[in-house]
Amino acid sequence: MVDSIRVALLGAGTVGSQTARLIVEQADELERRVGARVELAGVAVLDPSQISDPWIDRALLTDQTLELTERDDVDIVVELIGGLEPARTFVLSALNHGASVVTANKALLAKHGPELYEAARKNGVDIYFEAAVGGAIPIVRPLRESMTGDRITRIMGIVNGTTNYILDEMTTKGLDFATVLKDAQAKGFAEADPTADIGGFDAAAKAAIMATLAFHRDVRMDDVHVEGIEHVTDSDIAAARAMNRVIKLLAVVEQDSENGAISAGVYPVMLPADHQLAKVSGSFNAVFVEGEASDDLMFYGRGAGGAPTASAVAGDIVTVARHRVAGTTGPDIPLYSQAPMADAADGESSYMLRLSVADNVGVLAKVSEIFANHGVSIRALQQLPDEDEQGNHELWITTHSVTDRVIRETAEDVAQAKDTSSVLSIMRVFEDAQ
Ligand SMILES: NC(=O)C1=CN([C@@H]2O[C@H](COP(=O)(O)OP(=O)(O)OC[C@H]3O[C@@H](n4cnc5c(N)ncnc54)[C@H](O)[C@@H]3O)[C@@H](O)[C@H]2O)C=CC1
Ligand SMILES: N[C@@H](CC=O)C(=O)O
Ligand code: NA
């Protein structure tokens, strides 16, 4: 008979603080749900003197994190520190000392996930990580458990709250990038180093985790093609608006139905303004999952922020606590697939290019010829009437479907051409709910 489940919290920042609140404030409710009292055994932080949350008993605070993971009276270690090291060492220590682990650390899982899943399996304990993808949205559990009888073919979605918030505020309020980033940091959406968000790496880590769960293959961060939003300018946003489109940072993972190759990518995409993902605003995330038998599923909710993320962490704590009470564990993460990874350069999409060209006779013909030489079919072409200080005009070209490799080669040739001053931007365009 288990009377209590003792939880060691590593980190009491944006997510850790709210997780502690949920555990402490709901202690009586959680006890009824678990069948044993869920109580904090210790809270490790870098500097205990900085913690002033009224729900955290000061006597529980420590900066001796490794010691906390080694204690015999700890059932669950909740890692909410972030980053690779020392988080990896703490998680492995917890697992090897017989504690189950709950973590929100997507960067860690996308780099060392399989090693940690194996350590959990070997030690007969759980590792749960619902908060690592899509914040509050239940998406890890559906991929890991609910859909495990189906064949997932594709997952596409917005999985980074910071970049979605930034793009949304720039689009709807005309605010500048730096101002909105500061705001996202103040609201607790951004990573400790926001380059992970802006550069697309946070979304790429989530894409790797989703691909691993969906395709039963070891897919790591390095397998994901990554483009962030650092090059998305006000002019790109204005161009998208003029074409009734919206720019979103998407993560797309899929398995080719013919050769079985898995592709995983993160990149900004222009979507029609009436696309369901175009309407996902602020720090919200949304993920479409396509299963062979299930058909389309959509998951939507708050993808970042202290309380929403803590909701997913607390759900994992309750689940793992129930397993400890019952003397069982959740399912393993079997990684048996040997499917190859596709080359990102072979990925196909429509693209929009913004070019700066001289207003000379024959320029359009010349540019069209370069596209034709590369076998790229132009779907729409528009020259803006206003000229810049050098007398150049913007030319917007939308293509039919073409590989990433070919569009880059085409753009290089266009950039070299006489009368072209520069290629201002190249961006994927999804014309419908593909
Ligand atoms: N903030 C968000 O919206 C979301 C965050 N996450 C993930 O949750 C984790 C935590 O993120 P935040 O709470 O935003 O970070 P944070 O920077 O607000 O908090 C980090 C905490 O870890 C503590 N810490 C750092 N090094 C430590 C060490 N060696 N020993 C003990 N404690 C240590 C710090 O004192 C602080 O309390 C990260 O893995 C992040 O990627 C996941 C989903 C959403
Ligand atoms: N920095 C992340 C936090 C949640 O995973 C984001 O902005 O989505
Ligand atoms: Na989630």
ipTM: 0.99
Residue 356 amino acid letter: S
pLDDT tens per residue across all 434 residues of the chain: 899 999 999 999 999 999 999 999 999 999 999 999 999 999 999 999 999 999 999 999 999 999 999 999 999 999 999 999 999 999 999 999 999 999 999 999 999 999 999 999 999 999 999 999 999 999 999 999 999 999 999 999 999 999 999 999 999 999 999 999 999 999 999 999 999 999 999 999 999 999 999 999 999 999 999 999 999 999 999 999 999 999 999 999 999 999 999 999 999 999 999 999 999 999 999 999 999 999 999 999 999 999 999 999 999 999 999 999 999 999 999 999 999 999 999 999 999 999 999 988 999 999 999 999 999 999 999 999 988 988 899 999 999 999 999 999 999 999 999 888 899 999 999 986 54
Task: Indicate if ligand 2 lies below 6 Å from the C-beta of 161.
Answer: yes
Q: Which of 18, 43, 45, 285 to mutate to test the pocket of ligand 1 (most atoms within 8 A of CB)?
A: 45
Task: Indicate if ligand 2 lies below 6 Å from the C-beta of 189.
Answer: yes
Task: Indicate if ligand 1 lies below 6 Å from the C-beta of 81.
Answer: yes
Neighbours of 422 (CB within 10 A): 12
Going by their DSSP bridges, the two strands 420-429 and 262-272 should be labelled as parallel
pLDDT in tens, 47-59: 999 999 999 999 9
pLDDT at residue 323, as a whole number: 98
Which residue matches tokens 């994901």?
224
Query: From ligand 1's centre to the CA of 195, what distance in Å?
Result: 16
Task: Give CA–CA dist 357/363, Å, rounded.
Answer: 8
Taking CA atoms only, the protein residue closest to ligand 1 atom 21 is 11
Neighbours of ion ligand 3 (CB under 5 A): 130, 134, 137, 139, 312
Query: From ligand 1's centre to the CA of 425, what distance in Å?
Result: 35
Residues 6+ apart with CB under 8 A from 278: 245, 246, 248, 271, 272
* pTM assigned to the model: 0.98
Q: Omega of the bond prior to 331 within 30 degrees of 0, cis?
A: no
pLDDT at residue 208, as a whole number: 98
Task: Give CA–CA dist 281/37, Å, rounded.
Answer: 38
Tell me, yes or no, if 206 is annotated catalytic: yes
pLDDT at residue 434, as a whole number: 46
Region(s) of the chain under CATH 3.30.360.10: 140-302
Q: Which residues of 62-79 are buried (b: 16+ CB within 10 A; e: fewer)?
A: eeebeebbbeeebbbbbb
pLDDT at residue 390, as a whole number: 87
Task: Give CA–CA dist 400/306, Å, rounded.
Answer: 42
* β-sheet bridge partners, residue 287: 157, 299
Q: Which of 81, 102, 109, 283 to mutate to test the pocket of ligand 1 (most atoms within 8 A of CB)?
A: 81
pLDDT in tens, 114-161: 999 999 999 999 999 999 999 999 999 999 999 999 999 999 999 999
User: By the 8 A CB rule, do 228 and 163 touch?
Assistant: yes
pLDDT at residue 421, as a whole number: 84
Task: Indicate if ligand 2 lies below 6 Å from the C-beta of 303.
Answer: yes
Residues 6+ apart with CB under 8 A from 87: 10, 79, 81, 103, 105, 108
Task: Give CA–CA dist 294/257, Å, rounded.
Answer: 16
- Token digits for 179? 């101002």
Residue from 173, 206, 248, 418 carrying the catalytic annotation = 206
The closest alpha carbon to 201, from 224, 178, 182, belongs to 224
- Helix, strand, or coil here: 353? strand
Task: Indicate if ligand 2 lies below 6 Å from the C-beta of 135.
Answer: yes
Task: Give CA–CA dist 76/81, Å, rounded.
Answer: 15
- Token digits for 75? 């059932």
CA 18 to chain centre: 21
User: By the 8 A CB rule, do 340 and 264 touch?
Assistant: no
Task: Give CA–CA dist 419/208, Å, rounded.
Answer: 42
Cα distances (Å, whole numbers) of residue 45 to 5, 82, 347 = 21, 12, 44
User: By the 8 A CB rule, do 161 and 187 touch?
Assistant: no
Q: What are phi and psi of 217, to 5 degrees?
A: -130, 150
Could you tell me the CATH superfamily of domain 344-429?
ACT domain (3.30.70.260)
For residue 184, which atom of ligand 2 is closest to its CA?
A: 7
Task: Give CA–CA dist 391/272, Å, rounded.
Answer: 31
Pick one of 3.30.1360.70, 3.40.50.720, 3.50.50.60, 3.30.70.20 as the CATH number of 4-135+306-326: 3.40.50.720
Pick one of 3.40.50.1100, 3.30.360.10, 3.30.70.20, 3.30.56.10 as the CATH number of 140-302: 3.30.360.10
Region(s) of the chain under CATH 3.30.70.260: 344-429
